Amino acid sequence: MAKAAQHPQADPELDRLTAQAPLLRQQLLDWWDVHGRRRIDQKPWMFTAEGRWPQSGEELCCLSVWVAEVMLQQTQLPVMLPYWQRWLQALPSLEALQAAEERQVLLLWQGLGYYARARRLQQGARRLAGTAQRHGLSPWPRTLAGWMELPGLGRSTAASILSSAFDRPEAILDGNVRRVLARLTACPLPPARQLAAFWRLSEALLDPLRPRVFNQALMDLGATVCTPRQPSCSACPWSAACAAYAAGDPARYPVKEAPRTVPFQVIGVGVVLDGAGRVLIDQRLEEGLLGGLWEFPGGKQEEGEAITATIARELAEELAIRVEVGEELIQLEHAYSHKRLRFVVHLCRWLAGEPQPLACQQVRWVEPADLDAYPFPAANTRIIAALRQWLERANDSSPGALPAGGGATAA
């Protein structure tokens, strides 16, 4: 006997809001006409080359939209805007992006974090350009499936690109939208557990005639009114329909997942100087959160191990060099979404052994003044600043008094 077709579970809140969709659309669009972020200095990628807001159905520069949407995946608009401007000045075309050196791409991204996004942008550009060259067509996909084939793009980002660049009727569900919908429905579960229902609601609310404007309005509502803390419900066009507002405690939503324990690690880092005052850096392997970036070598402290022993051991294991671990340069802490790290950084004198890339892509001796030419993780930029301050003090107190290095001089 054939199985009965599966249907979404009935949801009274979803049904209620779907029935009100025409009114809710108009309320949101009326609000956005007055309060939306529609100045060219706020969202320049949403404007035509002539500097005007696009008409219905008018296409925008897809590269500008794509880069903006990827940058906004983990970064707020005011923070990402100067990065977007610098990126498009340096890499203004698909051809420029696909041909750029990885070091340039990562340097342009430095400070935004989640560096895999930058590498995936370039990988996507190469794939799009290759497809266009083979078939003689526009490189830009016009379907969700086409965009989601590119590395690092999920449904919401792909939909936002399509609605923004081409005014296609695609619903979105980024973090701001999830928060708005969780409050509209007073959802008793964390949004991650209600994605199917939220997608249905976002699709039901979407204005099929003005999808670009509607999605911009929905994102702006979440970013400027329905904020994570202290939402401005008195200014919200949807307050009358909002179940969380009716319940008297909108800030209670979205319901959060139970907090999880984040592991803590201590990392010993060696700033290794040779006899000529150069410093040793290595390039991380491509995989992982910080793949392809440069760093000062080091590794995780083992239980019961002195941090100086950690540094000496890690440099021997990963670079095949012997060092004398000297004074502490700096301590700093850095939190990722999945772990917290404390970096304990010591100056080191190179004694012996030609540095070998045993656990990285390559190693290099560089002048301290040239470190800015290499893309580093955020934590390492503070180490660079501390190193330069130490060198200034050392030169002032005893010119030329840098650690004397042993072994062969590395090129």
What residues are annotated to the active site?
A: 69
- Enter the tokens of residue 138: 């526009």
Straight-line distance from the first to the last Cα atom of the chain, in angstroms, rounded to the nearest whole number: 74
- Enter the tokens of residue 365: 């001796």
The span from the CA of 143 to the CA of 209, in Å, is 18
Cα angle for residues 284, 298, 344 (degrees, 5° grid): 130
Could you tell me which of 275, 267, 401 has the C-alpha nearest to residue 350?
Answer: 275
CB 96 within 8 A of CB 83: no
- Which helix (H) or strand (E) segment holds residue 226: the answer is none
- Name residue 133's amino acid: Q
The span from the CA of 42 to the CA of 118, in Å, is 22
The span from the CA of 223 to the CA of 359, in Å, is 42
Which position has the token pair 């895999």?
A: 116
Taking the CA of residue 307 as centre, how many other CA atoms within 13 Å lie in the half-sphere pointing to its CB? 19
Query: Cα–Cα distances in Å, from 330 out to 347, 385, 397?
Result: 9, 10, 20
CB 119 within 8 A of CB 292: yes
Could you tell me which of 311, 306, 335, 341 has the C-alpha nearest to residue 325?
Answer: 311
- Residue 171: alpha-carbon gap to chain centroid: 22
Give the burial string for 253-280 (b: 16+ CB within 10 Å, else e): bbeeeeeeeeeeebbbbbbbbbeebbbb
